[in-house]
Amino acid sequence: MVDTGEAEKLFTRLRDATDSKSLLRKHLTNNIFAQLKGLKTKFGGTLIDCIRSGCENTDSGVGVYACDPDAYTTFAPLLDAVIRDYHKVSELKHPNPDFGDTDKLDFGNLDPSGEMIVSTRVRVGRSHDSYGFPPVLKKEERVEMEQKTVEALKKLDGELKGSYHPLTGMSKETQKQLTEDHFLFNDSDRFLRAAGGYNDWPTGRGIFFNDNKTFLVWVNEEDHLRFISMQMGGDLKEVYTRLVKAIRALESSGLSFAKRDGLGYLTFCPSNLGTTLRASVHIKIPKLSQTPDFKAFCDKYNIQARGIHGEHTESVGGVYDISNKRRLGLTEIEAIQEMRRGVEAVIAEEKKLSGQ
Ligand code: ADP
Ligand code: CIR
């Protein structure tokens, strides 16, 4: 039996937050709440596990997390509506993966002058298909997943070859330095914390990277796995090509990833579903970012601006993180092209505003 008393309390808190703009508040209607509040997934997850973060943090943008892969079925009346809204799709018909032909990409360095783009990063998320997400995960399961992942990572070779560094036992100074340099995650996101994302912290978490830190894997941060390719400057072609190579190598290393027809690869946050791909640049845009139309400009190109220390952080010195917003309903190569067009438009506009 599900204790619906707590769900009722959270729901009241959400309804009372009349200034909340979250997708959770928009789509969790009285009817849908009544329909879902007593249900449980195959992993034992409840509606509370999915909505706690958005009810406790009514300033959320999305506000909902999937407690496990099965939540996308059990709680579909809520999650489908949020997914459609976030990714701007009318139907949940995600295409098969298509990374394009990386030998024939029609882009290279988005800022050959090197004046505006500080660094470029592309990441995807993956989930082991037999485990739940943070709210329903047990400590032993997290450790088991970590071991499986490390076994697979050991098989990488060439440019991708690297070593694994568990958070347990890592000195505070090393963690701080890796985080400041934009390589490592930490436990400072209150949205993720409320969703159970830091349960049993730091057990089962860690980071893998190659010698020059251009290919990295986050283990048990928000998602079970995040594969990341990054480097200084604006060479999107090189960064993307390296990531595609890594995804292919890891797919054939014995790991099996959660995927669903129509939704693509499954992730903890519905904003990451589908391709799970976020391609970003850290870019100097002191002029454009100060215009009142900056948000509208980003919306027009389906791009999103974040601060330079990750989501929910502030910009420093006019440098913003600009990335593709949509990850579902388009292929990987289309998501990259959407980001590329957005970044090119941002560069052109910044130059125009600077009188160049
Ligand atoms: P994600 O949703 O991709 O996990 P976050 O917004 O939480 O991203 O950022 C994760 C980390 O990646 C942060 O430290 C952020 O500064 C870093 N990062 C993101 N994009 C870039 C980039 N283009 N260059 C350097 N670091 C980046
Ligand atoms: C929120 O709802 O604001 C947080 N739970 C984070 C959601 C992920 N954000 C995004 O825009 N991709």
Instruction: Encode the chain (356 residues) as per-residue pLDDT tens digits.
Output: 788 899 999 999 999 999 999 999 999 999 999 999 999 999 999 999 999 999 999 999 999 999 999 999 999 999 999 999 999 999 999 999 999 999 999 999 999 999 999 999 999 999 998 899 999 999 999 999 999 999 999 999 999 999 999 999 999 999 999 999 999 999 999 999 999 999 999 999 999 999 999 999 999 999 999 999 999 999 999 999 999 999 999 999 989 899 999 999 999 999 999 999 999 999 999 999 999 999 999 999 999 999 988 777 888 889 999 999 999 999 999 999 999 999 999 999 999 999 98
* Ligand 1 lined by 311 (C-beta under 6 Å): yes
| Among the listed residues 230, 328, 242, 315, the one whose alpha carbon sits nearest the alpha carbon of residue 280 | 230
> What confidence score (pLDDT) does residue 309 get?
86
Nearest to 344, CA basis, from 197, 236, 261: 236
pLDDT digits (tens, 9 = 90+) for 166-207: 999 999 999 999 999 999 999 999 999 999 999 999 999 999
CB 126 within 8 A of CB 224: yes
Of 308, 285, 311, 317, whose CA–CA distance to 298 is shortest? Answer: 285
User: How much is the pLDDT for 48?
Assistant: 98
Q: Show the beta-strand stretches assigned E in 97-235.
A: 117-126, 162-166, 206-210, 215-219, 225-232
What is the predicted pLDDT for the residue at 84? 97
170 Cα to the center of ligand 1, angstroms: 21
Contact 178, 207 (CB under 8 A): yes
Reported pTM? 0.96
Report the amino acid identity of residue 271: S
Model pLDDT, residue 313: 81
Decide if 159 contacts 242 (C-beta within 8 A): yes
Enumerate residues 6+ apart whose C-beta is below 8 A from 129. Answer: 69, 256, 257, 258, 259
Q: State whether residue 348 is helix, strand or coil.
A: helix
| Residue 89 known to bind ligand | no
Token output for 30:
């009285």
Residue nearest to atom 24 of ligand 1 (CA): 119
Measured between alpha carbons, how far is 75 from 35 in angstroms, rounded to an integer? 9
- Ligand whose nearest atom lies closest to the CA of 268: 2
Residue ranges with strand state E in 159-251: 162-166, 206-210, 215-219, 225-232
Give the Cα separation of 306 and 296 in Å (integer).
14
Residue closest by Cα to atom 10 of ligand 1: 310
The answer to whether residues 79 and 270 touch, using CB atoms and an 8 Å cutoff, is yes
Cβ of residue 330 lying under 6 Å from some atom of ligand 1: no
Cβ neighbourhood burial of 252 (10 Å; 0-12, 13-18, 19+)? exposed
User: 10 Å Cβ neighbour count for 3?
Assistant: 11
To the question of whether residue 346 is assigned a binding role by annotation, the answer is: no
